[in-house]
Amino acid sequence: MNWKMGRVVLLAVVLSACGGSLITLAQMPVYADAKEIPASSSQLLDGITKLSKASPTLQRILQAKEQKIYTLPKDAAWTTVNKYYEIQLDKLEFQIIPASAALLENVKLPTDISAYQTATWVRGSQTFSIIQVNAPGAVELIVSLATP
């Protein structure tokens, strides 16, 4: 093996040891019953954006460059959606940030939102977050991938 080939092999070994290459949002798993919608069609994005003013965590998630919004069935349970992502992201070597699933305390929800939950995972320099927003008659899932 010549020295140039040796460098390429060494670089590949180093990259694989560091968690591999960066992932795009298009490569991330999507919950089976989710249907992608444009942000302009979201019934709940405006309310969650207003709510984010009281939460630095929500602000960070909503400011990610890669983001998609999905509608979910009205009976979609947070525990089921969150478990799906826990399993799928574990396969991609993302680690959950345990405190990220906590709800905001003492924050008044906008009238169009009855509840929301968040969870965040990290892999190297990438952060993947989900926000499930519930309102009477609608459930939406906002997913974002932040890559520095």
pTM above 0.75, yes or no: no
Q: What is the pLDDT of residues 50-64, one digit of tens each?
A: 666 666 666 677 677
Percentage of the residues of the chain whose pLDDT score is greater than 70: 65
Query: What are the beta bridge partners of residue 95?
Result: 122
Q: Give the model's pLDDT for residue 12.
A: 33
Q: Compute the distance between CA of residue 145 and CA of residue 28 in angstroms, rounded to an integer.
A: 9
Q: What is the pLDDT of residues 2-34, one digit of tens each?
A: 434 334 333 333 333 445 689 999 999 999 999
Q: Compute the distance between CA of residue 70 and CA of residue 39 in angstroms, rounded to an integer.
A: 9
Range in 12-26, 46-60, 90-104, 107-121 with the lowest mean pLDDT: 12-26
User: Is residue 12 a part of any domain in this protein?
Assistant: no
- Supply the range of the domain harboring residue 104: 23-146
How many domains does the chain contain in total?
A: 1
Contacts of 136 (CB under 8 A, 6+ apart): 114
